Amino acid sequence: MCARSSFRERSHPWGPGLAPCALSGPASGARGQLSPGSGGDRGCNSMTLEAIRYSRGSLQILDQLLLPQQSRYEAVGSVRQAWEAIRAMKVRGAPAIALVGCLSLAVELQAGAGGPGLAALVAFVCDALSFLVTARPTAVNMARAARDLADLAAQEAEREGATEEAVRERENSHCKGPGVGLHASENHAANQWAALPICPFASHPPGGLGPTGVIRSLHSLGRLEYAFCTETRPYNQGARLTAFEFVYEQIPATLIADSMAAAAMAHYGVSAVVVGADRVVANGDTANKVGTYQLAIAAKHHGIPFYVAAPSSSCDLHLKTGREIIIEERPGQELTHVNGVRIAAPGIGVWNPAFDVTPHDLITGGIITELGVFAPEELRAALGATVALDGPQK
Ligand SMILES: CSC[C@H]1O[C@H](OP(=O)(O)O)[C@H](O)[C@@H]1O
């Protein structure tokens, strides 16, 4: 809460009534009038697609590899299945990865896994959590959740009269995270801004976190004119997932190729750029989907405020600068093939980092969390040690 009290109301360059010029004709040149999609024909459905469905002993994930063509839920009954789903990016997005990882452990524990005996149960919990962290190293959320759950299991097992049941129950109840979306719109009297969310959560993540949460909240308050979303090569989270969600929720939005972002800023009066985060470190440097860094450079050039929207659980103050963040590299096939069809010359080399790091000085709008909106230099004081992971990046 103290973080919130230290929050300063930020003045924004786009005050009430400032509509992106594209709505009243292009800023310059022969660009046509932009007509952002008004959303699909899903009637008045205001439901947000749920990425994760959980009830005691049962976990299902929306297989995001099948979106937007299919909305199919897949049961996850074990830690191993969760690891495989996370690695394959059936479920993706930093907090959602942590949630699915933790819930898969809860499902196994409710089925009686681990034990017999408290020591064996705690060892099982710790081994499972360490394994889950290896699925994708850049996002901090799974590592943090693993640390917290392992600590909880050990604490519970050491209590007077501890029982296996008590350990299982405590693990089961520790799997929720605060939302950020509504907070951002409350604290950002943003009026009619077009934004470029890059690779936010597909469908309903835990608590409505991330850039889509911000966009969704502003839209629900009638303060969003339209949004651009970038396709987010090579995995196309933007074209496949973000666009799907905007259409599903009838949020007016326009899909652009990643290479078009700077031109969109130049010609369609983008008021703000909001992106997610996999790991925000002590000085505010932020790892996010590859392409974020160049969005920030373009936003700086155009004087457009650049925001990172992420829960405090995505912040890791133990790392001092972005140079310490491990960047996951993924299979080259994600770049050379689309839906299994080769599009690149056989034999060409491929570099496929899943993330890049945006230096804190390019995060000019602030870091939007559920605890408040902070300038990068305010982060450490605002979030304190609560979000520092012990030891090197796990
Ligand atoms: C807002 S979710 C956090 C972050 O995770 C995504 O990466 P991936 O799709 O590889 O899991 C993307 O970078 C999001 O911004």
In sequence order, which ranges of 88-163 are alpha helices (DSSP H)?
Answer: 94-110, 118-133, 141-158
Query: Alpha helices of the chain — where are they, by DSSP H?
Result: 2-5, 79-87, 94-110, 118-133, 141-158, 164-173, 181-187, 210-220, 237, 243-248, 261-267, 292-301, 333-336, 379-383
Q: What are phi and psi of 49, to 5 degrees?
A: -60, 135
More confident residue, 389 or 90: 90
pLDDT computed for residue 240 by the predictor: 86
Closest CA to 302 of 30, 35, 27: 27
DSSP letters along 3-22, please? HHHTPPPPP-SS-TT---TT
Which residues are CB-contacts of 186 (< 8 A; sequence separation ≥ 6)? none
27-63: per-residue pLDDT in tens? 333 445 565 565 554 433 433 467 889 888 899 999 9
Average pLDDT of the residues in 20-29? 27
256: three-class secondary structure by DSSP: strand
- Judged by average pLDDT, the poorest of 69-78, 156-165, 208-217 is 208-217
Percentages helix, strand, coil for the chain, rounded to the nearest 5?
Answer: 40, 15, 45
Closest ligand 1 atom to Cα of 97? 11
Identity of the amino acid at 269:
G
* Phi, psi (degrees; rounded to nearest 5) at 191: -120, 120
Say if ligand 1 is within 6 A of residue 289 CB.
yes
pLDDT, tens digit, 9 for 90 and up, residues 329-339: 999 999 999 98
Considering the candidates 63, 258, 278, 356, report the single residue annotated as catalytic: 278
* Residue 291 in contact with ligand 1 by CB distance below 6 A: no
Return the sign of the alpha-carbon dihedral for residues 355, 359, 360, 363. Answer: negative
Q: Is the pLDDT of residue 178 over 80?
A: no
Rounded to an integer, the average pLDDT of 150-163 is 93
The closest of 253, 187, 241, 177 to 214, measured between CA atoms, is: 187
The angle that helices 118-133 and 141-158 make with each other, rounded to 10 degrees, is 170
Q: Which atom of ligand 1 is nearest to the CA of 94?
A: 3
* pLDDT one-digit tens code per residue, 72-82: 999 999 999 99
Segment among 183-187, 278-282, 344-348 with least mean pLDDT:
183-187
Which pLDDT tens digit goes with each residue over 82-104? 999 999 999 988 878 888 999 99
pLDDT attached to residue 35: 58
Interval 241-251 mean pLDDT: 85
What pLDDT score does 203 carry? Answer: 35
Tell how far CA 379 is from the center of its chain.
18
pLDDT of 385 reads: 57
Cβ–ligand 1 contact at 276 (below 6 Å): yes
Number of helices and strands in the chain (H, E): 14, 15
Cβ neighbour number for residue 334 with a 10 Å cutoff = 16
User: By the 8 A CB rule, do 192 and 271 touch?
Assistant: yes
- Can you give the pLDDT at residue 23? 21
Residue 170 CA, distance from chain mean position: 26
240 lines ligand 1 (CB under 6 A): no
Q: How far apart are CA 303 and CA 320, in angstroms?
A: 27
Per residue in 119-154, is it b (16+ CB within 10 Å) or e — as a string? eebbebbbebbebbbebbbbbbbbbbbbbebbebbe
Per-residue confidence (pLDDT) for residue 74, from 0 to 100: 96
258 lines ligand 1 (CB under 6 A): no
How many Å lie between the centroid of ligand 1 and the Cα of residue 192?
Answer: 25
278 noted as active-site residue = yes
Instruction: Using a pLDDT cut of 70, give the percent of the chain over it.
Output: 76
Alpha carbon 239 to its chain centroid, in Å, reads 16
pLDDT tier at 215 (50, 70, 90 boundaries)?
confident
pLDDT at 188: 32
DSSP string, 161-181: T--HHHHHHHHHH-------H
How far, in whole angstroms, is CA 128 from its chain's centroid?
23
